[in-house]
A and B are shown apart, each in its own frame.
Chain A
Amino acid sequence: MLSRTADHLYWMARYTERAENLARLLDVTHQMSLVPQSVTAENQNWGAILALNSLETAFAKTYDEVNAENVLRFMVSDPSNPTSIYGCLRAARENAHAVRGTLTAETWESTNATWIEMREQKFEQIRSAGVDQFFDWVKLRSAVTRGVTFGTMLQDEALHFIRLGGLLERGDNTARILDVKYHVLHTHGDEGTTDFYQWGALLRSLSAFEVYRKVYRDIITPARVAELLMLRVDMPRSLHACTGGIVRVLEAIRNSQSAETERCAGVLYAHIHYARIDDVLAQGLHEYLTDFMDRIYDLGEGISRDFLVPAISMR
């Protein structure tokens, strides 16, 4: 496969996944904001989203105040913000457009249709219809695209690079969501009913609420939430599941220069595979997740270098 084609497929998948996870992150923040709390605390939560994506400076160029309205507008449909849901869906579509011949008609049409619908929604409409409806739409579109992709595409190299991009982004994004929310909940939580709703919102945003009930059959505790989202191999959005997938894909696409990247992925996988949640929490969850995100970043660099480099990256 052409390196440039692989690059576009990989980034198409990353941006599709990133849009979905952004919706998840904004959704949980929105849900949490519905629980009574001080305005300062609420605005801090919205500010944390900007910090998580290193977007404080870009945000401050157009907006005065960090509040729900402004952050939502900036992260949902501001075309000047490439990391907005709008920006991600546009980038996903542009990457797909560049290699549409490699995609099945269904995969291309789904990606294209998502972008066309996104383009036609004004923020005011989204706001008045309810942002949660919009987030559901983003998640649904992502699910449809993923469904037709895995349901129609030949299981060859093209699909491997799509899978790789999706897994890398998802692992990174789950770590980010957990990092920012765990911190907020654990330091400000009152351990009462409020807390239950807050943790519930976090789990729901990662489609993990029912999963939690099924796995633990017990009350929601922070440690278990962290364990579920990080270490459970059977939880599809967990760090464990994502890194395991990355290792398998790298094995399948192996070339003469990818041995080091494969080794790093194996090390990261083992690091999570053999981890215990008590040790992770003792070491400090934030430190652990930061280290994980750094290693994912390095893996991304390695993948670009080994497979995608001759092309001009679309990132």
Chain B
Amino acid sequence: MSKIQIKMTVNGKAIEALVEPRTLLIHFLRDQLNLTGPHIGCDTSHCGACTVDLDDKSVKACTMFAVQADGGTLLTIEGMAAPDGTLHALQEGFREMHGLQCGYCTPGMILRGYRLLKENPKPSEEEIRSGISGNLCRCTGYQNIVKAIQYAAAKLSGAPVKEAAE
């Protein structure tokens, strides 16, 4: 099947590429753009490890074709930190609050947390939990992930943040 030319902005950079229509967005990101932060967890749209931000929406890149993202603006975990390496408040939150153990779900969790906080800068614990209900973590029991997102919400709103306990 002939390839199609697509254009998009990925982490602030304009890109153009040729893709087969059947190429899934996750494979395009990982294999063609070498952005291996978004992970393939379940490959069945359940786990959320492949979550990226596309046109102000959190989407599961395993259940979308790259051609569907043509013309779009994408953000992946690789685009979260500032160019000088300063971590985004969410990344800092996951580090400070021990929001990860194996780290496999983390890029998806952070990208989902990013859109959640854009839409709702001061979420309740309940809203955070339902907001990340499409992301599975098999290590942490979610408690510290919730705390990490709370940390980021506080930091982004200018409130002083507490360092994690021991």
Whether A and B are associated in the same complex: the answer reads no
What residues of chain B have their CB less than 8 Å away from a CB belonging to chain A?
Answer: none
What residues of chain A have their CB less than 8 Å away from a CB belonging to chain B?
Answer: none
